[in-house]
Chain A
Amino acid sequence: MRRPVLLVAAVLLSAAVPLARAETAQKANLRVSFSGKISPAALPRLGAAPIAVTVGGRIATLDGAPPPQLQGIEIALNRAGHIDPKGLPSCTYAQIQPSTTAGAQAACGPAKVGEGTFAANVLIPEQSPFPSEGKIVAFNGIDKGRPVILAHVYGTLPVPLSYTLILSMRAGKGTWGTVLRAALPAVTADVAYVTGISLTLNRRFEVGGKTRGYVSAGCPAPEGFSGAVFALARASFSFRTVGTLSSTLIRNCRVGG
C-alpha cells in the first residue's frame, strides 16, 4: 500500500459545498446517486487518525425500467486517507461463500472491517425480478496472495442467498491514493442486478497496544485554515451496454483531534 497523501482543496469551495449530500450521475436513462461520508469530521492536520468512511450508490432508471447489469464497481479514495490491514487477520473467499452472515462472521469474525447493506433485484430465468435486501459484511481478505476486501452479501428472501464480492486494492494516481475495484462476475450479473449498495469501512484494532484504523485519514486544510473541502472519493459504476457512470464525492473536514 502506498503511503497516504494529503489532499489540498480550495478553501473558497468550502463555503459553497454542503457538508453531506448525494451526487448524481446520469447517462441516458440511467441515473446513479452516489453518496459518501467520513466520520469523524475533525481530523488532524498532520498525520492520520482512524476513520469510518461510507460510500454508496443507488441505481435507478428514469422510466422505472430495470437498470442494466452492474458489471464493476470502482471506488477511489482521496490520498489524504489510506487503508492499512496490517495486523488484521485475513479471510478467504472459500471460508465465507456461501454462508449466512452469522456463518461468515463465525468463520472470519476477527477479519471483519466493515458492514453495509445492499439492495438488488434477484433474477431467475423465466421469473419476475424479485427485490431482495440484505446485509453486507466486509472482511479483510486475501485473494491470490494480495490483500482484498471480501464483501459478503447475505439475504433470506426470496430464498437464502449468499454472494461475496472481492474488492481488490491498488494505488491510485494524483488525488486518489487508493482504488478499490470489484468486478462482478458474469454469473453474478445474471442472477441479480444491484439497485443499491452502501459499505462502511470502520474497523479499529490494536496493534502493539496502539489503536489503529483499517482506514485512516487527516484533514488536508492548509495552515491557517480550520478546515478544508476535499474530494473524498470518486465512485464509478460500470454497466453493461451503458458504460461507466462516475461521480466525485466532495466533503469537508475540520482540523482537530
Chain B
Amino acid sequence: MNQRFAVTAVGALAVAIGLAVIGPPSAQAAFAIESFAAAALESDATPDTLAGTHPAALEVHLDLDTESGARQLRGLTVHLPPGFLINPGALDECSATAFAKPRISPFEASASGESCPNSTQVGVLTVQTGSATRSFGAFNLAAPFGTAAAIGASPFGTPLVFAVHLREPDNLALELTKLPQSFGLRGLDLTLWGTPWEGDSRPPGDPLHKPGHNPLRGNCLDEQSGGSWGECFASGGSAAQESLIKTYLTLPTSPCGVPLTYAATATSWQGTSAAASAVAPALSGCNKPLSTPKVQLMTDAAAARTGLAFNLSVNDGGGILNPGGIARPAIKTAILSLPEGLTLNPSLGAGLGVCTEAQLARESADSDPGAGCPNEAKIGTVTLEGALGLAEALQGSVYLAQPYANPSGSLLAVYLLARNPRRGLIVKSQGAIVPDPATGRPVASFENLPRLLYTHFTLTLREGQRSTLVSPPSCGTYLAQMRTSSWAAPEVFTNATSAFLINRGDPGPCPPPGALPFHPGLLAGSISPSAAARTPFYLRMTRTDAEQEITSYSATFPPGLLAKLAGVGECPEAAIAVARARSGAHGGAEELAAPSCPASSLIGHTEAGYGVGGVLAWAPGNLYLAGPYHGAPLSIVAIDPATIGPFDLGVVVVRSAIRIDPRSAQASIDSAGSDPIPHVLEGIPLHLRDIRVHVDRPDFTRNPTSCDRMAVSSLLTGAGADPFNPADDSLAASSQRFQVLNCSLLGFKPSLSLRLGASRHGAYPSLRATYTPRAKDANLGGVSVTLPPTVFLAQNHIEGVCTRVQFAKGACPAGSVYGHARAITPLLDEALEGPVYLRSSRTAVPDLVAALKGRGIEIEVPGRIDSSRAGMRANFEGLPDAAVTRFTMFLDGGKRGLLQNGADLCRVKRHANARFVAQNNETAVGHPRLRVKCKPKKGKRK
C-alpha cells in the first residue's frame, strides 16, 4: 500500500478504533480485495453516529491485492448502509461536455480529464495506479437516464463514473463499471463531502474564516500531493451564499444500536469477483417525533362519492438538505381508521382491473406503461417529493391488488408505486383496506411504506363517477384516526386524528338528522302489453344515493299475471345449499363457471347495481324456480355471483317465498317469507341502488286476460339511520300501474255440460258439471248456473259444513265433503284437484267450495248458492284469471246427495241457465240441458 492511504482519516480510523473491517481474502487468490474501509465522519474525523444527521464526509477506502493483479479490475460497487442518502439535488451538476474537457490549472499540469465547475465538486478521489498515486476532484455529474446520481472523476483523462442507484430494498449503491483494463487501478480513496459548498470567502487570516472545502476544490486541489494550492470558491469567484449551502449526505434515520455495514464487490475482466464489507459504529438518536399526516375528503357533501387525500410532510423543514437539520425517519406503518359513515363505494368496481403480484414485480423504474400493473387497476395517485433532495418528484399510482392474491391476503388491497424514471428511482409498497364488519368503517393499513426519505408524501384515492369512497350520510364533523410508526421505531405508534367537515347535501342542504328519507321507486311490467301475451316480465326497484339502503322487499303482482310452471324444474335444496356455501373468495367465479342450480329451473336473470353516483357496478345473477319455502308452495332463488368488478364477494343467495292467493291465484312475495337482501358484504355497504329482475324464460310468464287497471305493488324495507342496525329499519310502499291492452281481441265462447246421475222424482242425483273453454279465449271470470225449479236442495242431507276457520286451517271435517273437482291447466304439469266442501258463508246457504291443489298450489273456487226464478243457482264469481283446459265439478248423489229431483226429469223440461262473464268482461249465456239417463219412449224403441 501506498503510504498516502495510511494517513487518510478512514484509514486512521481503521487502525485506531478498528471500525473498518478488512474484507476477507478472496477465495480466488488471483483476484481479491486486500482491504476495504468506509465510514461517515464528523468534521473532526470521528465517526458520525447521530441518526438523520449530515456527516462531514463519507470516506471509502479500497485496496486491491497487488500481487494478484489489480490490472484485472473491471467493476466496483460500494453498497451504502440502508437509508444512507446521497442527495444529488444539493448542488449543481457537471455537464457531460465539461466532464469530458481536460482541466487546465494555473497551479500545475493537471492530469484530470475534466473541467467541471467548482459548484459541482462533491469530493476527492485518490487513485493508485501502478506506482502513481494522485488525487482528483470528484463531481456531481448530470446523471444518465435511469441513474439516481453520478459521481465522476477523470484521473489521467480516464473517466471514472460511480453511478448511484437505489437498490433493493432501499440502499444506495455506487457502481463503477467498465473500468479500462489498461487503467491499472490498485486502490482508491473516495471522499465525499457532506456539505460540498461549505467554505466562505473570508481571507485566510480572518478568525471567522471557515475554508470548508475551498482548499481542495477545483484547481486548488494539489493533485500530486492531495494537498492544496489555495482556496477556490464554490461559485466562481465567490463563496456560495450560506442559504444555498445544502447537504449532500444524510445518515440513515435508523436503525439504532446496530452497526452500519458498508460493502464492496469487485469484478475482474476475467469474470471473477471479490467482496468485502466494513462495519461502522451503530447509530443513535433514532427516536424522533413523527410528523402528523393529514387526511382530507374531497367533498364536503353528505352521501356523495368522494376521493381522499393523505398528506404527510416529513422533512419539509429541511431535514434532508439543511446542514443544520436532522432528517426524521419515514413512516413505516400507517393505520388509518376512516370515520364511521364513510364507506367504500362499490361503483369503484365498475370496469376496474387488478394488479397481480407478478405484474407489480415487473414494474421497474423505467418500465413502459402497462408493462406491469394495468392502467385499469389504478384507483389513485402517489407522489413523493424531495427524495434525494431532487426537485423532481417520484410519481405514481395506487393500484388495486388482486383480491386475496396479495401479500396481505385480503379482499381489498392496494399497491403503491411511485417512480422517477430519469433517476432510476422506484418505490413500491402495499396496503390493505379492511372494513370493520360491524360498522363498515374502512381501516386502511399500510406496511413498509417507502423508507426513502422524502419531504412530502401524498396519496390520493380517486374521486369522480367511480370514486373510491362514499361520504357519510349526514352532516357533521368526522374524525379519522391514525396510528403511525416509523422505520426507526416500528413498534412505537403515534396516534393522531384528522377532522372532516360535511356541511351540505348532494345536492341541496344537509339531510335532516336521523334516518334518511326512503321513497324507493318501482318500475314493473310486461315487455308485451297485450292481453294473454306470453311475455317476459321485469321488475326494477331503485333508490337514490340520499335514501336508505334497501334490505328487503315484498311484491304483489297483478292478478292474472301468471307463470307457466309446466316443464320447469325446481332447483333442488341441495343445489341451493351449494350456492349458499360459495361464500368464499372465489365463490362468485365458481358459480359463474358452474351454476349451482340446473338450467331446467332457470326462469330469468337479475342485475344488481351497486354504488353511488352516475356509474354503478353491476353484478349479474340468475333467477331460478325452487320448491316450498317458509310455508309457500314455491319460491324463487336469485343466485348472484357477487362479482363487483374484480371483487369476488362470493355468492349472494336471496330466496323468496312465492305465495299464491287461493282466491285470485295472485302471486306475491312477502318479506317475511324471503331472505333479506344483503346490503353489507365483507363489511362493505353495497349501496345497492338498482335491482332489476327479468323473468324472461321463454313462454314462462303470461299476461292477464283482463284489461282492468291493476298494479304491481311493493313494500320495501329501508336500512334506517344505521345500515348495520336492523332495529331502525323503515318501510316504504311503492306501486306501479299495470294494465294490458287488446282484451277485446280475445274470444269468449265457453261450453258447459251438466249431467245428473238419476232422473226419478224424489231421487238424489249426482251432478257432473264440466266447463270447457276454447284455447286462446279470455279466461273465465265468473259463472252462474241456475238449475230448473224441479231440482231442490236436499237440505236434510246437509250433515256437515266446514267452517271458515276450519277451511283456513285445512281441517274441514269429512262430513263436509260433498264431491270433488278437477281443473286441468296448461300452466301446470299436473291437474289441480280436490274435494268440494260446503263451507259456511255469510249468506243463508253455505258456499260450495272446490279446494283444488296441485304442485303445492292451493286454489279455492267458491260458489255462492241462492235461488233465481225459483231455481237453485250457484254463482262462481271472482275466479282466477288463469287458463284452464277443462274444469269438472262432481257432486255426490244418493245419501250424500245435495240435490233432489222435484219431478221425473225425463218428463219435464230440464234446461239450466248459465251466464258466463269473462275476465275481459265479455259475457255469454247458455242453456245447457241437464243430461240424464231416461228410458227410451216406447214409440221410439223400434
Binding site for B on A (CB under 8 A): 94, 97-100, 103, 122, 124-128, 130, 156-162, 187-188, 190-191
Contacts and interface: CB of A to CB of B under 8 A. Distances in A.
Given A128-B844, A158-B867, A160-B872, A122 B795 contact: yes
Interface stretch (B209-217, B773-781, B785-793): B785-793
Contact of B845 (A99, A156, A158, A187): A158
Contact of B902 (A157, A158, A162): A162
B796 A188 contact: yes
B468 interface: no
Interface in B707-738: none
B919 interface: no
Contact of A161 (B762, B793, B802): B793
Interface string B824-854: 0000000000000000110111100000000
Contacts, number: 87
Interface in B900-919: 900-903
Contacts of B843: 127, 158
Contacts of B796: 187-188, 190-191
Contacts of B762: 94, 97-98
Interface in B579-618: none
Contacts of A100: 789-790, 870, 902
A99 B902 contact: yes
B866 interface: yes
A160 B803 contact: no
Interface string B784-815: 00000111110110111111000000000000
A209 B883 CA distance: 71
Given A160-B792, A162-B902, A126 B867 contact: no
Nearest to B869: A156
Main SS class of interface, A: loop
Given A127-B843, A161-B792, 4 more contacts: A97-B762, A127-B841, A156-B867, A160-B870
Contacts of A161: 792-793, 795
A124 B792 contact: no
Given A160-B792, A160-B872, A188-B796, A124 B903 contact: no
Contacts of B761: 94, 99
Given A124-B798, A124-B801, A103 B903 contact: yes
B901 to A, nearest CB: 8
25 contacts: A98-B792, A99-B902, A99-B903, A100-B902, A103-B903, A122-B795, A124-B798, A125-B840, A126-B840, A127-B840, A127-B841, A127-B843, A130-B844, A157-B844, A158-B843, A159-B793, A159-B865, A159-B866, A159-B867, A160-B867, A160-B872, A162-B902, A188-B796, A190-B796, A191-B795
A127 B867 contact: no
Contacts of B840: 125-127
Main SS class of interface, B: loop
A126 B903 CA distance: 29
B871 interface: yes
Contacts of A188: 796
A122 B845 CA distance: 9
Q: Return the 7 tightest CB-CB contacts between A and B, nearest first.
A: A158-B844, A130-B844, A126-B840, A126-B801, A125-B801, A98-B792, A159-B793
B896 to A, nearest CB: 15
Contacts of A190: 796
Nearest to A132: B844
B729 to A, nearest CB: 42
A223 to B, nearest CB: 54
Contacts of B866: 158-159
Contacts of A130: 844-845
Contacts of B800: 125
A154 to B, nearest CB: 9
B846 A127 contact: yes
Contacts of A103: 790, 902-903
Nearest to A99: B902
B801 A127 contact: yes
Nearest to A97: B762
Given A100-B870, A125-B798, A191-B795, A159 B803 contact: no
Contacts of B867: 156-160
Q: Pick from A100, A130, A188 the residue with the most CB of B within 10 Å.
A: A100
Contacts of B792: 98, 159-162
A126 B846 contact: yes
Interface string B266-297: 00000000000000000000000000000000
Given A124-B844, A160-B793, A98 B902 contact: yes
B75 to A, nearest CB: 109
A166 B846 CA distance: 29
A191 to B, nearest CB: 5
B789 A98 contact: no
Contacts of B795: 122, 124, 161, 191
Nearest to B870: A156
Nearest to B901: A98
A255 B793 CA distance: 50
B900 to A, nearest CB: 6
Contacts of A158: 843-845, 865-867
Nearest to B793: A159
Interface in B844-886: 844-846, 865-867, 870-872
B245 to A, nearest CB: 110
Nearest to B865: A159
A182 B762 CA distance: 21
A133 B872 CA distance: 16
Given A126-B801, A191-B795, A160 B789 contact: yes
B421 to A, nearest CB: 92
Contacts of B846: 124-127
Q: Pick from A127, A160, A188 the residue with the most CB of B within 10 Å.
A: A160
A84 B433 CA distance: 113
Contacts of B793: 159-161
A255 B47 CA distance: 163
A52 to B, nearest CB: 28
A190 B796 CA distance: 8
A46 to B, nearest CB: 47
A71 to B, nearest CB: 16
Interface string B344-362: 0000000000000000000
Contacts of B789: 100, 156, 160
A99 B902 CA distance: 4
B844 A122 contact: yes
A103 B909 CA distance: 13
A18 B789 CA distance: 44
A255 B834 CA distance: 72
A139 to B, nearest CB: 16
Nearest to B795: A191
B362 to A, nearest CB: 84
A91 to B, nearest CB: 13
Contacts of A187: 796
Contacts of A94: 761-762
Nearest to B847: A127
B807 to A, nearest CB: 11
B440 to A, nearest CB: 57
Interface in B733-775: 761-762
B256 to A, nearest CB: 95
B912 to A, nearest CB: 13
A83 B676 CA distance: 84
Contacts of A191: 795-796, 798
A188 B797 CA distance: 11
A145 B433 CA distance: 106
B845 A124 contact: yes
Nearest to B796: A187
Contacts of B901: 98
A10 to B, nearest CB: 47
Nearest to A123: B795
Contact of B803 (A99, A124, A126): A126
A125 B802 CA distance: 9
A169 B844 CA distance: 36
A70 to B, nearest CB: 16
